[in-house]
């Protein structure tokens, strides 16, 4: 089976069959990752560049590890230590790298649409590792994989996405994916951090009441307050945000049922999530990170044309 697209620019472009294929392929790679020898020869002779114009820990290491587990050759690019810092354009940089016979590009960029622009100009397969406030498709795929593992499926699961929805590419990709797979989505946060027309545009429920939202959901995917993307004051202080929308152990213990806590990372501990929640048995945050490697192996393998 093959994906209906030759790049992974966003979940918006995938259909339900594509998502199911990626998740089932990831399950096979997760089995490989449990073996003493965690490596397969699937991408031998494939060369991949990891092009990171924006900081990353989880996504960058996860892609690098996925590529190594698949036996691909990899090169890593960080904008701050490259000729981009001397003013070289994105297109010049990528065309120079591709002239060294690179087959696939994994790319993170602060500009929304940067990977879509590249896809119009270069022949290599492109995987979006997060573009501005637009999409973070592999995060949504690993989140879905983790929910599916915990809840035994996605159909009908009630997922609350809580926090800074306005600046979140993770929220957008999760909403597209969860709806395509039949899950129900509510976004919750202060009115200033939720786009005004999100209900009409993306078909989600909107709530400004954290307690009610937590009572409703099976899974709470808690997002980071993205201070680096905010150019105006959208809430009074981090302390007040924590009081109104932070998730504490006391709040979780007051609910009628035990819900699953997720976070894409990095966590602002004591702001959107208290430490005793992040580190509790209800949290699957580190399972999300573990699953990220298998999911990215699946995406790389399916887009490489080697399947
Ligand atoms: N979740 C995520 O994208 O984390 P990084 O920014 O560390 O890659």
Q: Is the CB of 266 under 6 A from ligand 1?
A: yes
Cis upstream peptide for 186 (omega within 30°): no
Within 34-111, where are the H helices? 58-69, 90-98
Ligand 1 nearest-atom number relative to CA 62: 8
270's CB contacts (< 8 A; 6+ apart) are 242, 246
Annotate 205-232 with three-state secondary structure.
EEECCHHHHHHHCCEEEECCCCHHHCCC
Same structural domain, 143 and 267: yes
Q: Is 234 inside a domain boundary?
A: yes
Same structural domain, 188 and 102: no
Nearest CA to ligand 1 atom 5: 56
Q: Is the CB of 174 under 6 A from ligand 1?
A: no
Three-class SS state of 108:
strand
Ligand 1 nearest-atom number relative to CA 129: 3
The CA 89 to ligand 1 mean position distance, Å, reads: 24
Same structural domain, 73 and 95: yes
Q: Is the CB of 62 under 6 A from ligand 1?
A: no
Ligand 1 nearest-atom number relative to CA 59: 8
Is residue 294 within 8 Å of residue 35, measured between CB atoms?
no
Is residue 195 within 8 Å of residue 165, measured between CB atoms?
yes
Same structural domain, 101 and 122: yes
The CA 62 to ligand 1 mean position distance, Å, reads: 9
The CA 149 to ligand 1 mean position distance, Å, reads: 21
The CA 254 to ligand 1 mean position distance, Å, reads: 31
Same structural domain, 114 and 146: no
Same structural domain, 122 and 169: no
The CA 60 to ligand 1 mean position distance, Å, reads: 8
The CA 227 to ligand 1 mean position distance, Å, reads: 15
Q: Is 4 inside a domain boundary?
A: no
Residue 170: how many other CB atoms lie within 10 Å: 27
From its phi and psi, is residue 154 left (phi > 0), alpha (psi between -120 and 50) or beta? alpha
Same structural domain, 250 and 145: yes
Q: Is the CB of 130 under 6 A from ligand 1?
A: yes
Ligand 1 nearest-atom number relative to CA 130: 3
Q: Is 21 inside a domain boundary?
A: yes
Q: Is 213 inside a domain boundary?
A: yes
Range of the domain at 279: 137-284
Strand boundaries in the chain, DSSP class E: 47-52, 73-78, 104-109, 125-131, 158-162, 184-188, 205-207, 219-222, 260-262
The CA 130 to ligand 1 mean position distance, Å, reads: 9
- From 55, 59, 62, 134, give the residue whose CB has the most ligand 1 atoms within 8 Å, as the site to mutate: 59
- From 51, 56, 140, 222, give the residue whose CB has the most ligand 1 atoms within 8 Å, as the site to mutate: 56
Q: For 190-210, write each residue's pLDDT tens digit.
A: 999 999 999 999 999 999 999
Same structural domain, 193 and 206: yes
Same structural domain, 273 and 146: yes
The token pair that represents 21 in the structure block = 């294929």
Q: Is the CB of 228 under 6 A from ligand 1?
A: no
Q: Is 47 inside a domain boundary?
A: yes
Same structural domain, 266 and 154: yes
Ligand 1 nearest-atom number relative to CA 264: 1
Same structural domain, 57 and 82: yes
Count: domains in the chain: 2
69's CB contacts (< 8 A; 6+ apart) are 29, 32, 33, 38, 39, 40, 293, 297
Please give the helix or strand (H or E) that residue 295 lies within, else none: helix 285-304
Q: Is 5 inside a domain boundary?
A: no
Read off the CATH number of the domain in which 21 is found: 3.40.50.1370
Q: Is 99 inside a domain boundary?
A: yes
Question: Over its length of 307 residues, how does the chain's per-residue pLDDT go in tens digits?
Answer: 899 999 999 999 999 999 999 999 999 999 999 999 999 999 999 999 999 999 999 999 999 999 999 999 999 999 988 999 999 999 999 999 999 999 999 999 999 999 999 999 999 999 999 999 999 999 999 999 999 999 999 999 999 999 999 999 999 999 999 999 999 999 999 999 999 999 999 999 999 999 999 999 999 999 998 877 666 677 888 999 999 999 999 999 999 999 999 999 999 999 999 999 999 999 999 999 999 999 999 999 999 988 7
- Give the DSSP letter of residue 191: G
Same structural domain, 114 and 147: no
Q: For 39-63, write each residue's pLDDT tens digit.
A: 999 999 999 999 999 999 999 999 9
Q: For 285-300, write each residue's pLDDT tens digit.
A: 999 999 999 999 999 9
pTM: predicted TM-score of the whole model, two decimal places? 0.96
Q: Is 244 inside a domain boundary?
A: yes
């Amino acid at each position: 089976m093959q994906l209906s697209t030759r790049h992974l620019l966003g979940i918006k472009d995938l259909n339900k069959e594509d998502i199911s294929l990626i998740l089932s392929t990831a399950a096979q790679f997760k089995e490989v990752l449990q073996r003493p020898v965690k490596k397969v020869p699937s991408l031998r002779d494939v060369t991949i560049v990891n092009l990171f114009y924006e900081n990353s820990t989880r996504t960058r290491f996860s892609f690098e590890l996925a590529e190594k587990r698949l036996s691909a050759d990899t090169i890593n690019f960080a904008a701050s230590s490259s000729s981009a810092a001397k003013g070289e354009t994105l297109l010049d940089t990528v065309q120079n790298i591709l002239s060294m016979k690179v087959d696939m590009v994994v790319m993170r960029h602060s500009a929304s649409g940067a990977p879509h622009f590249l896809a119009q100009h270069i022949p290599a397969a492109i995987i979006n590792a997060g573009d501005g406030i637009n999409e973070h498709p592999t995060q949504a795929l690993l989140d879905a994989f983790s929910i599916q593992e915990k809840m035994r499926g996605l159909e009908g699961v009630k997922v609350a996405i809580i926090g800074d929805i306005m600046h979140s590419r993770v929220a957008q990709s999760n909403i597209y994916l969860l709806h395509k797979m039949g899950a129900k989505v509510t976004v919750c946060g202060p009115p200033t951090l939720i786009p005004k027309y999100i209900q009409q545009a993306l078909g989600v429920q909107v709530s400004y009441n954290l307690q009610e939202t937590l009572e409703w959901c099976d899974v709470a995917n808690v997002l980071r307050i993205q201070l680096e993307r905010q150019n105006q004051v959208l809430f009074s202080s981090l302390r007040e945000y924590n009081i109104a929308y932070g998730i504490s152990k006391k709040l979780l213990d007051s609910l009628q049922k035990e819900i699953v806590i997720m976070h894409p990372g990095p966590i602002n501990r004591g702001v959107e999530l208290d430490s005793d929640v992040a580190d509790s048995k209800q949290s699957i945050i580190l399972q999300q990170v573990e699953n990220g490697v298998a999911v990215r192996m699946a995406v790389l393998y399916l887009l490489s044309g080697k399947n």
